[in-house]
């Protein structure tokens, strides 16, 4: 049981080589570098105003966020889909909840999340 046979040594050397090669390829493959966003495009669903806001450092972002226009908690993320701006599907339930009990749905079509934006290009704002 205490003998070290030549094939034991070969297996250990092979394992060290495979581990070393794997680490080398994982750490040097530049195509797998993850680029984290530092800004997000958001919309005020009441007014249709587009904003581009930097993410805060050291804390999470929670939606809805406070609007710099009217002070309401009406800021949601938005993305461009072809020529139109839409609320991503994962946030549409929150938008529906925001408009629950209100007579109007602001600038958002609740079925598909399309937003009637007020400005063509997002304005820079510190929202978070």
Specify the pairing of strand 79-81 against strand 84-86: antiparallel
- Mind listing the pLDDT tens digit for each residue in 57-116? 888 888 899 988 888 899 999 999 888 999 999 999 998 898 888 878 788 888 888 898
Note the pLDDT of residue 30: 66
Average pLDDT of the residues of the chain: 87
User: What are the residues facing 44 on neighbouring strands?
Assistant: 75
User: What are the residues facing 43 on neighbouring strands?
Assistant: 50, 76
Cα distance between residue 23 and residue 97, in whole Å: 47
pLDDT at 32 over 80: no
Q: Which of residues 125 and 78 earns the better pLDDT score?
A: 78
Residues in contact with 69: Cβ distance below 8 Å, sequence separation at least 6, in sequence order:
44, 46, 47, 49
């Amino acid at each position: 049981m205490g003998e070290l046979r030549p094939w034991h040594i070969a297996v250990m050397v092979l394992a060290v080589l495979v581990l070393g090669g794997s680490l080398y390829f994982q750490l040097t493959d530049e195509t797998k570098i993850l680029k984290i966003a530092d800004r997000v495009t958001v919309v005020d669903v009441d007014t249709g105003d587009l904003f581009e806001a930097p993410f805060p450092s050291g804390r999470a972002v929670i939606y809805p966020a406070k609007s710099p226009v009217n002070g309401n908690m009406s800021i949601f993320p938005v993305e461009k889909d072809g020529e139109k701006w839409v609320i991503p599907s994962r946030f549409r339930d929150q938008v529906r909840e925001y408009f629950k009990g209100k007579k109007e749905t602001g600038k958002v079509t609740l079925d598909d999340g399309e937003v009637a934006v007020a400005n063509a290009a997002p304005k820079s704002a510190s929202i978070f």
